[in-house]
């Protein structure tokens, strides 16, 4: 008897491609992550600057290559966070699908939030390393941590501050992931539908780019207060046995009190211009890898759908 069952892409390959696509996108947007983190950590009036001023200062004081400081941590974050998030979402999606019928839109949003939360927990050690590595250049030479790469950062943090420090800021990181996933799911879908209804767009890269940028605007506004709390907690130092912040709420209260309410959206521009393009680039890389796998391994045309 001939096996007529159509060959499909294995799940582990989908997860591998998803993580790889995220890592590929990070190669392009890492400088924006660096600028965003530096701006969020600027607590005094003297440190505050625009995105352009921050970039100019980094290049002048640290060199052009410094724009990619923390790249190894950024790549590891994608390898852990993105792969886990996609894997958990796919598993939950199948679990809550009934008789081949997919979950409702609200259910998908809830599944996305849950998957984002789990992925963020797994990715927090890389996130802590990324925040510290990108922040190092703003410190005086004698106060810098000078991690060589993400693995050196992980080992030294564990040795010098304890294993649990790798998960410092895990709660706001998970909260941010839930906000980002919920906002992106709702606004991306809605923006795509509205743009298609205008008659000026067809389903393709341009539509995905524009919808991603609109979605990124809403997502950035919604998630930045949680993101700044996460960034400061993960970069804080313990002085005389006392941590700089007690938790995410303490960060937000102190930021509003000392720097004003608009400081909660500090680094908005680089954060926004990182979020949209990162989504689009991830999508493009994913399409290319899916297409190549279908042609070379499965012997058929098409992308095989997205994750």
State how many domains the chain has: 1
DSSP code, position 246? S
Bigger pLDDT: 71 or 90?
71
Rounded CA-CA distance 97/84 in Å is 20
CA 306 to chain centre: 19
| Structure tokens that stand for 8 in this block | 């499909």
Residue appearing with tokens 């890269």: 205
DSSP code, position 260? -
Q: Is 238 helix (H, G, I), strand (E, B) or coil?
A: strand
In a domain, 4, yes or no: no
Inform me whether the pLDDT recorded for 306 exceeds 70.
Answer: no
In a domain, 88, yes or no: yes
Percent with pLDDT over 90 in the chain: 41
Q: What is the mean pLDDT of residues 253-266?
A: 92
Q: How confident is the model at residue 118 (pLDDT cuts 50, 70, 90)?
A: very high
Q: What is the pLDDT of residues 147-180, one digit of tens each?
A: 999 999 999 999 999 999 999 999 999 998 998 8
In a domain, 173, yes or no: yes
Boundaries of domain holding 173: 11-298
Rounded CA-CA distance 258/187 in Å is 33
| Structure tokens that stand for 128 in this block | 């802590």
> % helix / strand / coil in the chain, to the nearest 5?
75, 0, 20
pTM of the model: 0.80
In a domain, 108, yes or no: yes
Sign of CA dihedral 283, 287, 288, 292: positive
In a domain, 3, yes or no: no
In a domain, 118, yes or no: yes
Q: What is the mean pLDDT of residues 269-279?
A: 84
The CATH number covering residue 292 comes to: 1.50.40.10
């Amino acid at each position: 008897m001939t096996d007529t069952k159509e060959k499909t892409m294995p799940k582990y390959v989908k997860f591998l491609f998803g993580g790889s696509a995220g890592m590929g996108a990070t190669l392009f947007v890492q400088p924006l992550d660096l600028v965003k983190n530096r701006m969020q950590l600027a607590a005094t009036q003297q440190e505050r600057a625009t995105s352009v001023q921050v970039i100019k200062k980094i290049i002048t004081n640290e060199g052009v290559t410094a724009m990619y400081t923390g790249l190894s941590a950024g790549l590891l974050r994608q390898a852990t966070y993105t792969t886990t998030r996609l894997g958990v979402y796919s598993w939950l999606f199948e679990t809550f699908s009934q008789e081949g019928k997919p979950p409702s839109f609200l259910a998908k949003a809830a599944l996305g939030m849950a998957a984002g939360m789990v992925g963020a927990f797994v990715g927090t050690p890389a996130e802590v390393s990324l925040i510290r590595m990108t922040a190092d250049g703003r410190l005086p030479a004698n106060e810098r941590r000078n991690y060589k790469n993400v693995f050196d950062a992980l080992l030294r943090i564990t040795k010098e501050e304890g294993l649990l420090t790798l998960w410092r800021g895990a709660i706001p990181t998970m909260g941010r992931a839930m906000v980002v996933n919920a906002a992106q799911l709702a606004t991306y879908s809605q923006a795509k539908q509205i743009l298609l209804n205008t008659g000026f767009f067809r389903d393709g890269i341009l539509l995905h780019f524009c919808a991603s940028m609109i979605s990124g605007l809403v997502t950035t506004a919604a998630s930045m207060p949680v993101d700044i709390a996460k960034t400061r907690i993960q970069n804080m130092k313990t002085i005389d046995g006392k941590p700089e912040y007690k938790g995410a709420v303490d960060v937000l209260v102190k930021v509003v009190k000392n720097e004003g309410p608009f400081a909660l959206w500090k680094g908005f521009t680089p954060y926004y211009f990182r979020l949209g393009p990162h989504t689009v680039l991830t999508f493009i890389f994913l399409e290319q890898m899916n297409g190549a796998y279908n042609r070379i391994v499965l012997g058929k045309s098409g992308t095989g759908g997205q994750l």
